[in-house]
Structure 1
Amino acid sequence: MSDYSPGQRWISDGEAELGLGTILGCDFRSVTVLFGASQETRTYSSRQAPLTRVAFGSGDRIQAAEGWSLTVDDSKEVDGLIVYIGEDDRGELRELPEAQLADTMQFDQARDRLLTGQVDRNDWFDLRFRTLHHFHRIEQNPALGLAGPRIDLIPHQLYIADEVARRHAPRVLLADEVGLGKTIEAGLILHRLLLTGRAERALILVPASLTHQWLVELLRRFALEVTLLDEQQSQAHGEANPFEAGQLVLASQDWLFANPRRQAQAEACDWDLLIVDEAHHLEWSDELVDPGYACVERLAAAVPGLLLLTATPEQMGLESHFARLRLLDPDRYHSVERFREEEAHYVEVAEAIDAIERLPGGAGDRERVAAVIDEPDSLALLETLANGEAGAAQRSAARDQLRDQLLDRHGTGRVMFRNSRRHVGGFPERRLHVARLALPSSYRRVLRRLERDEDYLDELLIETGLDHPEVLVYLDTMYRALADDPLNTEPWWQFDPRVTWLLERLADTAAGGFADDKVLVIAHDRETAQGLAEGLRVLGGYHAPVFHEGLSLVERDRAAAAFADEEEGCQVLVCSEIGSEGRNFQFCRHLVMFDLPLHPDQLEQRIGRLDRIGQRHAIELHVPVFEGSPGEKLLRWYRDGMDAFSSPHGVGSEIFTAFGDALADALLDDESLAEVIEETRALFESRLAERDAGRNRLLELNACRHERAETVATAIRELDEDRALPRYLDQALDIFGVDSQELGGGLLHLQPSPQMLDGLPGLVKGEEGFSATFSRRRALARDDVQHLSWEHPLLREMMGRILDGTMGNTALALLKHPSIPAGRLMAELVFRTHCPAPRRLHLNRFLPPTAVRVLLDESGASLTDKVSFTGLSKNLQKVKKAMARDLIRSRHDQLRELIDRGESEAERELSSIVEAAQRRMRTELDGELNRLEALALHNPAVRDDELQALRDERSALDAAIDGARLRLDAVRVIVTVGEETR
């Protein structure tokens, strides 16, 4: 009882966050403490109370409950209470009884915690120092933000993500061909921007059919948890703005574009990034702007960053493509005619780039290059390249610089990234299989009347309500529309030979059959898909889920999941046209086009569901057609006119604009069709040659610079293979209370222990936890296995808690060494750079938290260079907390002197750290600023606000780095002991 007196100030060893406590009362059995700041009262056993008396010494700065501060010079004891004596902020001598200390005084700093007797475990101190070390090097790695996601290291995806995510408020169009990974590119950009602090809030708008797919992809590949917002969720927020409910919000375009109130709420929020998928659906012209385009236009004007995604940027022609670029930069893209003129110039630039590769040889090559440049720096590079006497290394450097300058300064390559299969390579073969079937009488009688009677087509269009040429191509749709015809007495699927053909293929085990293979079937019309599924069930006993626009999102996902399940999933999935957008079915190799779409881009969208990066098999395209029907003629136009089934070409929209009407008129006339196919082929080959020589050539050259991509991939591989990661994670899991079990095959299972600290991502007490691996290859092969990396949320959370909190910032250990007498004291001090700056600056790439270690003996002599951290840690032994507190209490004055001496030692290192950070920052940002300022003179795609933002960023970073200071991050007291000490 004599140890405690009412009014004394103590802190809880186990609950330091409670703040400064006051003894209310005590007796022989218990002691009661009030923690005023947290309004908590605790009662402890007086013999084993986990409490430490707070006692300040000379030089300490303390706060009074009334708000003033005192620098302690001396103290005295009055009736068991300490009275501090010192100078206040005005320099006046005052006294402050400990009972009048502010309850809110914090003891987070290592110095305060140590001198008040709060010490942590030695392994916590070790983990803190190692965390600082690893965090320092990871934050400077060029692959930061790109190494953690569960993706293959595909060059063009890495290049685009690295290039775009480096920019201030990036505004770009991701327009890779179908299957090249636009969603992955957008996810990588978002992940890096979030990890580096350049973005905190993002709004993602996707078609309704893709919301759950995006939700799952962002979580599975990027470990990003997003808020999926719909009307039901919005109403649950009452009058509050539902878009404020999360940092990352995913919403359906269909829902938002149809709801002006929700649009206004979305526009009222502060977003850093807007992502819009399938952006080709946004329609704009000088005469008409659809509601979706108008909504995105208003958001894009207010949100700094914008990513538009589309595989078919020119689906509706050049004006449609211009509309997307106009969203990115309305000042730069304000005139369709001017944009058309610019495109005409791209052929000359592409030819000049090809000529650069041939220099110094090649007649006329120098003139081709000179014709498109007039800048002194470019002309000087050309002279070097054309000089036959220049060294090989000198010419190679000049060639690279000149090529990069032309790519930067011409074309839309800075705002649009489009890779093609031909450019990327590695895609499987496409094989077309055409099944010619007899035309059933129910369809034939209508077509024959159309051939005899020219006016009957007009009557049919009025009678069915269908459009031309849909009424000719989709015969089952026409049959259903003529329901009042007395001859139409049975469902179309009972007599349509395409259904019988499909059932035969599904059961056929011979070559060309589908037995045991997954089969995706796509039809143009929703009713056709539903009828086909019914026919497969009734006539063949096949359960085929139907994927169409009338289903809810959950029903669509359920249908897709039933198809994807390898063990118990269904063999066939039947989709309406909506199934050809966005969904990834690359696990399947058979695509049955039950009918053909009328637009070439829709045809490519269908094939692109299977023909994607990662597809390991040839794509088998099956098209059943009726002999002599308009559907067969449409197939001939696709196949013979533009090789539409062999590979994507990107000119389908232009071809359709030129010949769509003529094709519709020729579907009942073989002679006219032959002319249309011949003219289509001529235009197709001509446009393909022009595009390959001009804009497409520039885009391909600029969409993936392989040297840069390989640099990023190499940095990612280094992090993947970092041997320090498993060792660090093993130590961290043990300290945070997570059980780790080896499963074999490079797999681990992580599960919470009863002692686990709360709030770790993916781990909840009482639940199973998750399986994980350090291998990227294994993680990609198994969706149920997480990829452990330095960027995994669990690692980031543990490292953040250590660096932002007090865990391990004090410790006391014993050292036995035969050459060191017992009773000697050493202080191991870890100082850390402190450099406050807004997260958006991403200061850590130049000056991450940097540790400066100082090891002093009791005389103040430095042992830092003589004794390493690892070497010392191996020989230390733990000590009980009670003994540690006694040792600290007995050496207060000495420890204060050593900490002050350590600060002086560490300060000597600060100037070199700051200089190195300034040098790194200026080298990178000055080079980028000079490049962009030169580029802005020739390419208006470089925005003024982007240049100013970079200048402001450089200035802010310069000031922040210059203001860097060192602060004591952790301290370990080491006491030498004799052999007999326990």
Structure 2
Amino acid sequence: MTLPEGARVWHAVHGAGRVELSRRMTAIVRFTHGLEEVLLSDLEERPDTPVTAPAADVVARVQAEAILSINNAWGVFSRSRVTLLPHQLWVCRQVITRWPSRWLVADDVGLGKTVEAGLILWPLLSRGLVGRVLVLCPASLVEQWQERMRTMFDIRLTRYTREADTAKSGFWETHRTVVASLQTLRDGKKGYHDRLLQAEPWDLVIVDEAHHLHAHEAGSTLSYRLIERLEEAGRIKGMVFFSGTPHRGDDEAFLALLQLLRPDRFDPGRPLGPQLKYLPEVMIRNNKQHVTDLSGEPLFHPPHVRSVTYTYSPEEARFYRQMTEFITTGKAYASSLGDNTQGRAVMLVLIAMQKLASSSVAAVRRALERRLGGLKAATRTYFEMRPGDDDADAQARFDELLPLEELQWRLMEDEIERLEELVESARSVMEETKIHRILEAIEKDYPEENVLLFSEYKATQSLILTALAEKYGMDSIVFINGDDRAEDVCGETLTMSRQEAAERFNAGQARFLVSTEAGGEGIDLQRRCHTLIHVDLPWNPMRLHQRVGRLNRYGQRHRVEVLNIRNPDTVESIIWEKLDSKIRRITRALASAMDEPEDLLELVLGMTDPSLFTSLFAEAQQGPRARLDEWFDEKTRQFGGEDALTAVREIVGHAAHFDYGQVSDLIPKLDLPDLAPFFKLMLGLNHRQVREEGGGLTFNTPKPWLDEFGILPVYRDLVFDRELPREDSGRLLGVGHRLMEMALKQARSLPGLTASVPELQYPLMVFQISDSLTDAGQAAPTTLVGVSLAEKPTMKLDWEILQWANTLVRPSLLRDEGGQEIPAGLPDEAARGQTFLETMLPQLHLVYTLPRIDHIATLFSGK
């Protein structure tokens, strides 16, 4: 058997195609994804016919091709259990339009990075382009990635552990979708990296909080080196990084991060400026000010921030003066020791004490008492174990523990006597005015509200938990901290996981959630809460943005209310006021050039060395108040300087970003329920009756679908509803469900190109656009487009075709058997439609190098 060039054929695996070259036993066929050489015996010729096919067959095939075209580009029909937003669909389209691809998604906090990751994954999994997936993230986010991928998208990630990865276990060969913490996987001892590097390549590697992949002149982090080694070994095909602050003030490190993604475009050895022109090819940055719902309405509004003040009681004022003098004396003593290990250790302890004292008397009193009690016992120091600035909760725990250790170095010559005075003074503070003021604010301003409260330190956390429990009851409180324990809460020790705390708070079972910085990232708390109180103010302003980000994120239905508590008589409060004033000036400077100053401010803060803020607060007490303004201005001269502002403007200005006005016409105005007409039509074509009870579909499975492994003979109450409870997720139909995949496969194999549809006024030609270039090493999905041949042709997008085709699905459609003669001249109209479509290609924003247009269906009026 031979087939002529241009013959239309069908292949069970590759679908519809046209013969390019026929040989003795094989043929080279151009399918929608590219050229394939296949056996002639595996091809079924589907010649164009002068008579019409049954309307239901052609409509179902057009629906199937439209569904795949829409989903392959946007992921809109994935089985996600969350409402999808335009910017998330746009990110999905940017990343998967060509595969494999490399992107840095630097969206603002709260815009749904895990949803974006799931939307990217589903179409790639459905198309078979991705099978092996590796997700790398901080240890605190591993469980969240597992849980959200499973509950939102039914994607199962296996958690990597060192115990499971042995020389005999074959972990990397037996697990194809894996999530691992950067901290665990970066250590290559005992053959861990060797086994990873010897395993099959990863189709997709996702890195969350990718700014931890840091490289500069001084060297690379272990995490950076791990990705670099995988890349050098050819073990990564596609790669997507997520980070809200990818530029951390170091151009070289930023370019090194981009070089991991696109070594052909970026070089950390060259200046940033000339390389910015390539940024739109690799970096996406969306911000809260620009994202909208499907109607174009803004989703976010800037939070409303206000401050309330309080004054110390006489006992608190006396303790604050004594504590200030103690720290000042200790710092003078540390300076006299010089910049050696002892001097640095003493200064570190004093700074930790100062931070504790700015939080609460209770927090620093616990540290003072423990240090006093064990001062004479020399123990090892934690000096070399200080955590990185990126781990806020670990840093807070370090601050609490460091002063408690019996360091072999004294903080001053008469330290024991001074500590005894301080402890006695602290114990005289029976009630902390700050806590009383917080309770007043809750009672007066938020009497019915659920409230999220943040504190840096566990002792302060226990203090506010006790106060809330005494006033509102133990059932009203939950907490989050690094070790899931809260001591001395109404005389008890409470234990609770962060997941349990978040679930109870989000379910409305507890009115107050009191969190340390452990809740500052990786957890959503916006479901029932829009009120946040800063019990204390962290010395790094970035922490404030991260805290607010727990509430000011997608799903929040109210403007977020933020309350700061401060004592204007303290040095810390004075510094915060000056710092806040400077931040407002930076925001105004950004606003003069950009539309999203709040978004850019976060990048400015991310580019600032955290040690600047520590030194601001730590050194302020030592200088005279009269020179504080001058000292502050000199100290912060580089913060938010023109170099930083220029870098931020250029980076954001060059990054790709979602613009509703530009792409709103392309975004599918569809959701899962729009799959229902197609699915019901396919059941009808298979002679299956559908019972609709309570909104769900019940039916006997068509026999052709039973060939797929795992498909059941009968299904009950299947739905197209994203609001389905998690425990019923198996009932959710969407692209990726086995039944839907079988329906799509069968519909695409239906023969017949032309059908008569009475509802049409003008003929509708349906075309499939693909890329003729097949040697680029990237797979691009096909795009379905229709042309309505009125007096003036008009173009219909894939989602518009599906919307229209859905209106045709009714019992009468199944009764049409085709067989009608095609009107004279209609075949020639396809050429007119294709010519028109060629002129409209720029409006589709396609990325095909050499677009190819194939006519796949014609629908005309049977009147």
Q: TM-score normalized by structure 1?
A: 0.56
1:234 has 2:172 as partner? no
Query: How far does the alpha carbon of each residue in 1:71-129 deviate from its partner, in whole angstroms, 9 at most, with x for none?
Result: xxxxxxxxxxxxxxxxxx99xxxxxxxxxxxxxxxx99999xxxxxxxxxxxxx99876
1:474 has 2:356 as partner? yes
Between 1:761-770 and 1:417-426, the stretch displaced more is: 761-770
Checking the alignment, whether the CA contact within 8 Å between 1:633 and 1:673 is kept in structure 2 is no
Measured in 2, the distance between the counterparts of 1:194 and 1:228 equals: 16
Checking the alignment, whether the CA contact within 8 Å between 2:256 and 2:268 is kept in structure 1 is no
495 and 692 in structure 1: CA distance in 2 versus 1, 3 angstrom threshold: same
Q: What code does the residue aligned with 2:306 have?
A: H
Query: How far does the alpha carbon of each residue in 1:173-201 deviate from its partner, in whole angstroms, 9 at most, with x for none?
Result: 11122223333333333333334444332
Checking the alignment, whether the CA contact within 8 Å between 2:204 and 2:238 is kept in structure 1 is yes
State the partner residue of 2:398. none
State the partner residue of 1:170. 101
Query: How far does the alpha carbon of each residue in 1:929-961 deviate from its partner, in whole angstroms, 9 at most, with x for none?
Result: 8xxxxxxxxxxxxxxxxxxxx88xx6xx98xx9
**Deviation (angstroms), 1:208:** 2.5
**Deviation (angstroms), 1:462:** 8.0
SS in 1 for 2:281: coil
**Residue segments in structure 1 that go unaligned for 5+ positions in a row:** 1-88, 91-106, 112-124, 344-408, 774-778, 810-831, 849-867, 877-897, 899-907, 930-949, 967-982
State the partner residue of 1:497. 433
Q: Which of 254, 265, 272 is the equivalent residue of 2:203?
A: 272
SS in 1 for 2:483: coil
State the partner residue of 1:410. 277
139 and 869 in structure 1: CA distance in 2 versus 1, 3 angstrom threshold: same
638 and 534 in structure 1: CA distance in 2 versus 1, 3 angstrom threshold: same
State the partner residue of 1:665. 619
State the partner residue of 2:805. none
State the partner residue of 1:728. 678
455 and 693 in structure 1: CA distance in 2 versus 1, 3 angstrom threshold: closer
SS in 2 for 1:610: coil
Measured in 1, the distance between the counterparts of 2:710 and 2:581 equals: 54
Checking the alignment, whether the CA contact within 8 Å between 1:464 and 1:482 is kept in structure 2 is no
**Deviation (angstroms), 1:565:** 0.6
- 5 Å-filtered alignment, 1:455-470, equals 455-457=329-331, 466-467=348-349, 469-470=351-352
208 and 444 in structure 1: CA distance in 2 versus 1, 3 angstrom threshold: farther
Q: Which of 523, 527, 532 is the equivalent residue of 2:455?
A: 523
State the partner residue of 1:184. 115
- 5 Å-filtered alignment, 1:220-619, equals 220-221=151-152, 223-231=153-161, 234=164, 239-258=168-187, 260=189, 261-267=191-197, 268-301=199-232, 302=234, 303-315=236-248, 317-330=250-263, 332-335=265-268, 338-339=271-272, 341-342=273-274, 410=277, 412-424=279-291, 426-439=299-312, 441=315, 444-445=318-319, 447-451=321-325, 454-457=328-331, 466-467=348-349, 469-475=351-357, 476-484=362-370, 485=372, 486=420, 488=423, 495-506=431-442, 508=443, 510=444, 512-513=445-446, 515-526=447-458, 528-529=460-461, 532-533=464-465, 536-537=468-469, 541-543=473-475, 544-551=477-484, 555-566=497-508, 569-587=509-527, 588-619=529-560
Checking the alignment, whether the CA contact within 8 Å between 1:257 and 1:295 is kept in structure 2 is yes
187 and 413 in structure 1: CA distance in 2 versus 1, 3 angstrom threshold: same
Query: How far does the alpha carbon of each residue in 1:728-786 deviate from its partner, in whole angstroms, 9 at most, with x for none?
Result: 3235567698975443xxxx23568799987999997999866543xxxxx46987887
SS in 1 for 2:140: helix
Checking the alignment, whether the CA contact within 8 Å between 1:276 and 1:309 is kept in structure 2 is yes
Checking the alignment, whether the CA contact within 8 Å between 1:143 and 1:712 is kept in structure 2 is no
SS in 1 for 2:280: coil
- 5 Å-filtered alignment, 1:734-773, equals 740-743=691-694, 748-750=695-697, 772-773=720-721
**Residue segments in structure 2 that go unaligned for 5+ positions in a row:** 1-23, 26-40, 46-53, 292-297, 335-342, 373-419, 486-494, 588-596, 752-767, 787-808, 820-825, 858-863
Q: What code does the residue aligned with 2:243 have?
A: T
457 and 683 in structure 1: CA distance in 2 versus 1, 3 angstrom threshold: closer
Which of structures 1 and 2 has the bigger CA Rg? 1
Q: What code does the residue aligned with 1:418 have?
A: R
Measured in 2, the distance between the counterparts of 1:419 and 1:181 equals: 11
Q: What code does the residue aligned with 2:604 have?
A: V
SS in 2 for 1:335: coil
SS in 1 for 2:526: coil
- 5 Å-filtered alignment, 1:497-896, equals 497-506=433-442, 508=443, 510=444, 512-513=445-446, 515-526=447-458, 528-529=460-461, 532-533=464-465, 536-537=468-469, 541-543=473-475, 544-551=477-484, 555-566=497-508, 569-587=509-527, 588-643=529-584, 647-648=598-599, 649=601, 650-654=603-607, 659-660=612-613, 661-667=615-621, 669=623, 670-675=625-630, 678=633, 687=642, 690-691=645-646, 694-696=649-651, 698-699=653-654, 702-713=656-667, 716-717=668-669, 719-720=670-671, 725-732=675-682, 740-743=691-694, 748-750=695-697, 772-773=720-721, 779=722, 791=735, 793=737, 796-800=740-744, 802=746, 841-842=779-780, 844-845=782-783, 873-874=814-815
State the partner residue of 2:417. none
Task: Indicate the structure whose relative CO is greater, using CA pairs within 8 Å and at least 6 residues apart.
Answer: 2
SS in 2 for 1:434: strand
Q: What code does the residue aligned with 1:225 have?
A: I
Checking the alignment, whether the CA contact within 8 Å between 2:572 and 2:617 is kept in structure 1 is no
Measured in 2, the distance between the counterparts of 1:493 and 1:758 equals: 75
140 and 623 in structure 1: CA distance in 2 versus 1, 3 angstrom threshold: closer
Measured in 1, the distance between the counterparts of 2:430 and 2:716 equals: 51
163 and 529 in structure 1: CA distance in 2 versus 1, 3 angstrom threshold: same
Q: What code does the residue aligned with 1:652 have?
A: L
Between 1:448-457 and 1:244-253, the stretch displaced more is: 448-457
Instruction: State the superposition RMSD in angstroms.
Output: 5.5
Query: How far does the alpha carbon of each residue in 1:587-616 deviate from its partner, in whole angstroms, 9 at most, with x for none?
Result: 221112222222232221111111123422
Q: What code does the residue aligned with 1:796 have?
A: M
Measured in 1, the distance between the counterparts of 2:689 and 2:812 equals: 27
Query: How far does the alpha carbon of each residue in 1:784-834 deviate from its partner, in whole angstroms, 9 at most, with x for none?
Result: 8879776362553332563699xx99xxxxxxxxxxxxxxxxxxxxxx9xx
- 5 Å-filtered alignment, 1:114-133, equals 131-133=60-62
**Deviation (angstroms), 1:564:** 0.8
Checking the alignment, whether the CA contact within 8 Å between 2:103 and 2:240 is kept in structure 1 is yes
Q: What code does the residue aligned with 2:735 have?
A: E
- 5 Å-filtered alignment, 1:104-115, equals none
Checking the alignment, whether the CA contact within 8 Å between 2:71 and 2:123 is kept in structure 1 is no
Q: What code does the residue aligned with 1:430 have?
A: P
Query: How far does the alpha carbon of each residue in 1:450-502 deviate from its partner, in whole angstroms, 9 at most, with x for none?
Result: 34773323669989885564432322543322224456489999744333444
**Deviation (angstroms), 1:916:** 7.2
498 and 140 in structure 1: CA distance in 2 versus 1, 3 angstrom threshold: same
- Percent of residue pairs bearing the same amino acid type: 21
